[in-house]
């Protein structure tokens, strides 16, 4: 349809309604698309009413009388795109003739789509391009309009091709990819080439459950994941998994699990951790299982981890036997590793870099619904830090510098804030680094290997070092005996402080708390 038709953008805007505002009424002058980006509310088109929840997509024809209202509990942010469609009626060598038409456009109301992220991005980009009147690329808005209309009119409605062994497997794959849309047995029958009644019979035979039960289980499993590892409102989760009515979603969820979605979210959870043990402990959560290497290097948490099961070398069978509700993992794990873990339980992936330990703790407290406990721990942590800083102020001069280093296999690493106590030293205790450390390590956000020739530039007045012995000590011993090392002012003044790796391996939550105290004690 898009090959010969022409589309002109007539308007693109955001509609913002505060929860205290009256409804926004309008007469739709041109065909219009609407998508809800934030909040909850309702939209009335002529005599029909539609609930607005996150990611829902609607269409309105020209001449429709519409009113939009927000929920009394939240503000509403709705995106609106207006356009005209022109259909070609004459094609000669001398001229092309088009006339305005609504042929092929959807009916008023909801439009099913499971590509919420793509559509939201296109709506926002199109509004920005339309509002940028002085844009250096006048074709940008038109390009985005065509992309949006392709997603809405073509991509979301074309019948996919699946090369699977049985027609039932085709239906299963389609359901898995489109569970968030309205799924109808007649369409699945058309997709498989079966009569609807025969499809139901064969589906039950191959899958051991009915089509409706399979769809319900798939939607409930996805809802469990979202309830476990996001803070999304239940109305948003309902829409994402294919229910426009949040109350109906709650009934179906309880039918499948025996509990209301909010109760499921608040229940005690069995958590397996591949990182961030200290954060979990600070929130009052003791994991049921932890990565063995992480446990080995977290000796400062030995008492807190007593009785916790550890597993080695990606023993997925052992992880599965722990029956976790959530797996907490860092984003440096390989995609195939994360994929394997997701077959066991929902995986909460946390960035390893570019987020400080306090903000991570605050975020995870929000995810698990224990914000109060998170803020209480943070307050107590900063109170401890202030007491330590006061005591240190009586020992250090304000112009003295300090930095954190690690030596491994003869290499010297100047550590960034996500590694080995650097965050505790700089951000918590308030020590100042040498200029070269600030510029080339902290501002760059990455640890740096320095040569012996560069070492004097990166050396601080006070040097905290950890020595990683697993790679051997021969090269490291040669480095420590070298003239370049021995001539450092900190070495000559005996201001080098060695801290075991297993006391500074982790840098979050309870680990951060203990590490901060350990660093302060080195100087006092």
Determine contact, residues 284/369, Cβ cutoff 8 Å.
no
Cα dist from 181 to 176, 308, 469, 473, 493, whole Å: 11, 42, 55, 60, 70
User: Where is 479: in which H helix or E strand?
Assistant: helix 474-481
The CATH class for the domain spanning 386-523 reads: alpha beta
Q: Give every strand in the sheet of 309-311, ordered side by side.
A: 309-311, 289-291, 271-273, 326-330, 347-350
Phi/psi zone of residue 225: left (φ > 0), alpha (ψ -120 to 50 degrees), beta? alpha
**What pLDDT sits at residue 217?**
87
6-155 is a CATH 2.60.120.280 domain: yes
d(CA 62, CA 30): 4
Q: How far is it, in rounded angstroms, from Cα 422 to Cα 445?
A: 11
Q: Are strands 462-468 and 402-408 parallel, antiparallel or unpaired?
A: parallel
Which residues, in sequence order, are CB contacts of 346 under 8 Å at separation 6+? 224, 225, 228, 229, 325, 326, 327
Tokens 């699945």 sit on residue: 188
Domain locations in the chain as residue ranges: 6-155, 167-266, 271-352, 386-523
pTM for the model: 0.58
Residue-by-residue pLDDT tens, the chain, 524 positions: 445 788 899 999 999 888 767 678 899 999 999 998 877 788 899 988 887 776 778 999 999 999 998 877 667 889 999 999 988 877 777 777 888 888 888 888 888 765 666 787 789 888 888 877 645 566 778 888 888 888 887 655 544 444 555 788 888 888 888 888 878 888 888 777 788 899 899 999 888 889 999 999 889 888 888 888 777 888 888 888 888 888 999 999 999 889 899 888 877 788 999 889 999 999 999 999 988 887 777 778 888 888 888 887 667 788 888 888 888 888 888 877 888 888 888 888 888 777 788 988 988 888 887 888 999 999 999 999 999 999 998 888 878 999 999 888 888 999 888 787 889 999 999 999 999 999 998 888 888 999 888 999 999 999 999 888 766 788 888 989 999 999 999 999 999 999 887 777 788 899 899 999 989 988 88
* Tokens 């009586």, located at residue: 394
The domains spanning 167-266 and 386-523 adopt the same CATH topology? no
Residue 479: HSE in the Cβ half-sphere, 13 Å Cα cutoff: 19
Kindly state the tokens that stand for 233.
């409102």
The architecture of the domain spanning 167-266 is Orthogonal Bundle (1.10)
What is the CA angle 40-45-48, rounded to 5? 90
Looking at CATH, the fold of the domain delimited by 271-352 is given as: Rossmann fold (3.40.50)
């Amino acid at each position: 349809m898009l090959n010969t038709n022409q589309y002109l953008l007539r308007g693109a805007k955001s509609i913002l309604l505060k929860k205290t505002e009256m409804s926004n009424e309008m007469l739709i002058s041109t065909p219009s698309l609407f998508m809800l980006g934030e909040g909850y509310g309702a939209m009335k088109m002529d005599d029909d009413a539609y609930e607005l929840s996150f990611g829902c997509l609607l269409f309105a024809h020209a001449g429709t009388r519409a009113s939009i209202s927000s929920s009394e509990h939240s503000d509403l942010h709705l995106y609106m795109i207006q356009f005209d469609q022109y259909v070609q009626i004459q094609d000669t060598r001398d001229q092309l003739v088009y006339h305005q038409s609504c042929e092929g456009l959807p009916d008023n109301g909801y439009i099913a789509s499971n590509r919420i992220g793509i559509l939201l991005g296109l709506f926002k980009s199109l509004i920005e391009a339309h509002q940028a009147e002085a844009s250096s690329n006048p074709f940008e808005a038109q390009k985005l309009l065509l992309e949006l209309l392709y997603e809405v009119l073509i991509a979301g409605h074309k019948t996919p091709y699946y090369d699977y062994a049985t027609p039932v497997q085709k239906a299963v794959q389609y359901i898995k990819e489109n569970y968030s849309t309205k799924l109808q047995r007649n369409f699945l029958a058309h997709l498989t080439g079966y009569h609807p009644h025969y499809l139901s019979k064969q589906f039950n035979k191959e899958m051991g459950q009915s089509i409706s039960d399979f769809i319900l289980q798939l939607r409930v499993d996805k809802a469990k994941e979202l309830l476990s590892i996001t803070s999304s409102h239940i109305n948003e989760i309902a829409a994402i998994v294919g229910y426009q009515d949040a109350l109906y979603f709650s009934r179906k969820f309880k039918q499948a699990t025996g509990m209301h979605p909010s109760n499921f979210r608040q229940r005690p959870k069995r958590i397996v951790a591949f990182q961030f043990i200290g954060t979990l402990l600070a929130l009052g959560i003791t994991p049921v299982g932890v990565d063995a290497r992480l446990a080995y290097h977290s000796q400062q948490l030995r008492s807190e981890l007593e009785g916790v099961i550890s597993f080695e070398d990606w023993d997925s069978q052992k992880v599965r036997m722990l029956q976790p509700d959530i797996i907490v993992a860092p984003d440096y794990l390989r995609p195939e590793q994360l994929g394997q873990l997701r077959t066991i339980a929902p995986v909460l992936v946390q960035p390893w870099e570019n987020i400080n330990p306090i903000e991570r703790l605050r975020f995870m407290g929000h995810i698990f619904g224990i914000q109060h406990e998170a803020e209480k721990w943070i307050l107590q942590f900063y109170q401890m830090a202030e007491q330590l800083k006061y005591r240190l102020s009586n020992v250090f001069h304000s112009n003295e510098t300090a930095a954190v280093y690690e030596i491994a296999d003869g290499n010297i690493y100047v550590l960034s804030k996500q590694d080995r106590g650097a965050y505790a030293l700089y951000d918590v205790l308030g020590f100042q680094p040498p200029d070269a450390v600030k510029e080339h390590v902290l501002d760059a956000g990455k640890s740096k290997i320095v040569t012996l020739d560069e070492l004097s530039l990166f050396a601080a007045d006070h040097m905290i070092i950890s020595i990683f012995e697993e790679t051997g000590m021969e090269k490291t011993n040669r480095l420590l005996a070298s003239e370049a090392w021995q001539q450092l002012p900190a070495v000559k003044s005996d201001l080098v402080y060695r801290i075991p790796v297993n006391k500074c391996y982790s840098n979050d939550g309870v680990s951060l708390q203990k590490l901060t105290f350990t660093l302060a004690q080195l100087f006092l």
